[in-house]
Structure 1
């Protein structure tokens, strides 16, 4: 079988795996953004307890490998509680928690980068802290965070390849299944690498275009 025929034969499975990869990445990044915002706000709070909780979350997640986190969620928690967690759900939770810990630092840095005078000016006009943060500080901070958001999206997309260890049929797992049937490892892994490369380059160029438009 020549390489063109092999590619055509493998294409449906690779596209299916790519779809799962993108789905996990998008869902996970939405959840990670919510976690990042929540714990990011906690990390800059004057409340020591909230600050400590945010720091503990970041340190625990960033101090352990993603693959261990995925095993813990998929095998550890069900084994301890006698429940079953679907592989897709476990994968989304693992990526969300992992990316969320990095998003905390992105949000914290973005908020801290906004001139403190903005907050002081708004408060002097009688705006409450929460409304000032929502209407004035966060919109400016998010604009500064765009490159870091895109970068985290790319990292999380590549991290989904580790989820093949818990049986999720994403792009990497699809490649493994194809190899098991055709024994063409070199060509198949080249196809998988090309798929990752293309999607990541598209995201990279989109990020650069967005940065130019926003003049970051």
Structure 2
């Protein structure tokens, strides 16, 4: 039987075309006072978008890893709690979750906090917490964190379960504790499986961070909405908004693919 031939990867024509279009768009922005003004206004929200995305992703990854470990634990109660969390959170649209956290969850948290700290407040040690003290920015971050933690937990769970049981048994035979087995044997191998879908979730979170604009958070989308509402330049404004998001998401996707290839080469070596 003839050995299978390995075809060479296709030339990334899509990337070449996208690069040409991005360059043409950049030149058009530089040459037009109107587009330059729109870009300068909308770009003010890039910092908030990046901040919301990074903080929410880090928190969601930590919570997601904890939920994944609960789902793989030896306790049936912990497994059921983890499955309940994942299924319920994944069944709620991110936008609905955002509204619930912002306008129902935050007031409930404030009421619970004031109830628990009432003795300290009466003693003058702590002041009363008001709903307006919880910024809309952090309400949005917590909503994205909770929403994405359910998806990320499934990524971690699948990656951890992909590690061969024989290697875990060998680590047990060497006398490694459960924490040592996870840190030294399981996680280093699982990360190669986890990284691609985890990167996809990060890119998706960049796009879903635009939902925070419904709360008035001054991200890219919100800055575009405000400018378009005042100038009625809807085509120019939302074209620039889409352009900025494409630069962020495509750039991140390329960087993550490069990281995946580097890790794959290191593993093969």
Aligned to 2:102: 74
Distance in structure 2 (CA, Å) of the matches to 1:79 and 1:93: 14
Q: Which runs of 5+ in 2 are unaligned?
A: 1-27, 112-129
Question: Hey, what's the Cα distance between the residues in 2 that align with 1:91 and 1:78?
Answer: 10
Identify the residue that residue 44 of structure 1 maps to in structure 2: 72
- The answer as to 2:138 corresponding to 1:89 is yes
Report the counterpart of residue 201 of structure 1 in structure 2: 250
Distance in 2 separating the partners of 1:106 and 1:79: 32
Write the deviation string for residues 18-76 of structure 1: whole angstroms up to 9, x where unpaired.
21111100011100110111001011111011111111111111000111111111111
- Aligned equivalents of 1:51 and 1:73: distance in 2? 25
Deviation at 1:13, TM superposition (A): 2.4
Who is 1:172 aligned against?
221
Say which of 112, 115, 133 aligns to 2:164. Answer: 115
TM-score (norm 2): 0.76
Q: What is the CA distance between 1:105 and its match in structure 2?
A: 0.3
SS in structure 2 of the partner of residue 215 of structure 1: helix
Q: Could you list the runs of 4 or more consecutive aligned residues of structure 1 that deviate by over 6 angstroms after TM superposition? A: none
- Pick one of 55, 58, 65 that aligns with 2:83: 55
Partner of 1:15: 43
Q: Name the larger-Rg structure.
A: 2
CA RMSD of aligned residues (A): 1.6
Unaligned segments of structure 1, at least 5 residues: none
- What does residue 203 of structure 2 align with? 154
Q: Which residue of 1 aligns with 2:57?
A: 29
Aligned length: 215
Q: What residue is the counterpart of 1:137 in the other structure?
A: 186
User: Are 2:128 and 1:128 aligned?
Assistant: no
Indicate the SS of the match to 1:214. helix
TM-score (norm. length: structure 1):
0.94
2:34 paired with 1:6? yes
Matched with 2:259 is 210
